[in-house]
Amino acid sequence: GNSVTQMEGPVTLSEEAFLTINCTYTATGYPSLFWYVQYPGEGLQLLLKATKADDKGSNKGFEATYRKETTSFHLEKGSVQVSDSAVYFCAPNYGGSQGNLIFGKGTKLSVKP
Amino acid sequence: NAGVMQNPRHLVRRRGQEARLRCSPMKGHSHVYWYRQLPEEGLKFMVYLQKENIIDESGMPKERFSAEFPKEGPSILRIQQVVRGDSAAYFCASSPGTGIGSPLHFGNGTRLTVT
């Protein structure tokens, strides 16, 4: 079946460091790709999305590019802040009925001042 | 425009009791999804409903768990005779449609603790 793989956390960075969280998905069909963020004690919020190959999603300084050739959708940010500390979920949408989205285990990011 | 509303935020039940979790989707959204999140884990799909219909319940345990989304009122996830293993965060999400470009909008969850 379809699946998604994220780099395991936790990831600990100092403020202003560069962030990359890797995400790869199974190459069945042409899914839309999403990154969600979950702050402590809250639900998931949509961070960014890309719906076709070579699209770049961006929001709040975060970016991710839909790479069909490598089936990847890595999340990047040039300079993280303490307020970016959260759990990040990569989620492809293959259009199935199970909520459409398939979630990985998430990557916990801690940013130290 | 209010987001997805879930209540209660925290629910404590003793073993054997019933837990009832409520979810009001965003205005204009007719598709509701329930997910369960165990500590330090991702989200596991449980059930997908549209108004008055269960579309996919393949992620829901066959016993003790049920879900509904009536014509009027919120969606309800019911867990009968709770056990300690049911302790988790339960998230509801809604969407206006099922297109693959449509994101889900999540509530803040109900954290169930079974003592």
Kindly report, residue by residue over A31-86, the tens digit of the pLDDT: 889 999 999 888 899 999 999 999 999 999 999 999 999 999 999 999 999 999 99
How many other CB atoms are there within 10 angstroms of residue B81's CB atom? Answer: 13
Peptide bond preceding B103: is omega within 30 degrees of 0, i.e. cis?
no
The span from the CA of A17 to the CA of A89, in Å, is 20
The reported pLDDT for the residue numbered B35 is 94
- Percentage of chain B surpassing pLDDT 70? 97
Neighbour tally for B37: CB within 10 Å: 21
- Other CB atoms within 10 A of residue B83 CB: 11
Mean per-residue pLDDT for B43-68? Answer: 92
Token reading at B23: 């979810």
Q: Decide if B41 and A46 are in contact by the 8 Å CB cutoff.
A: no
How many other C-beta atoms lie within 10 A of the C-beta of residue A54?
10
pLDDT at A3: 83
Q: Which of B44, B93, B108 sits opposite A42 (nearest CB)?
A: B108
Average pLDDT of span A5-17: 93
Q: Given this model, what pLDDT does residue B42 score?
A: 79
Neighbours of A58 (CB within 10 A): 14
Is there a contact between A99 and B100 if contact means CB atoms under 8 Å apart? Answer: no
Q: Minimal Cα–Cα distance from B27 to chain A, Å? A: 17
Q: Which of A53-57, A106-110, B58-62, B109-113 has the lowest mean pLDDT?
A: B58-62
Q: Is A46 on the interface with B (CB under 8 A)?
A: yes
Q: What is the phi/psi pair of residue A26, to 5°?
A: -75, 145
Query: B43 vs A32: CB contact, 8 Å cut-off?
Result: no
Q: Which of residues 72-101 of A touch B (CB under 8 A)?
A: 89, 93-95, 97-101
Mean pLDDT of chain B: 92
Phi-psi region of A99 (alpha: psi -120 to 50; beta: other; left: phi over 0): left
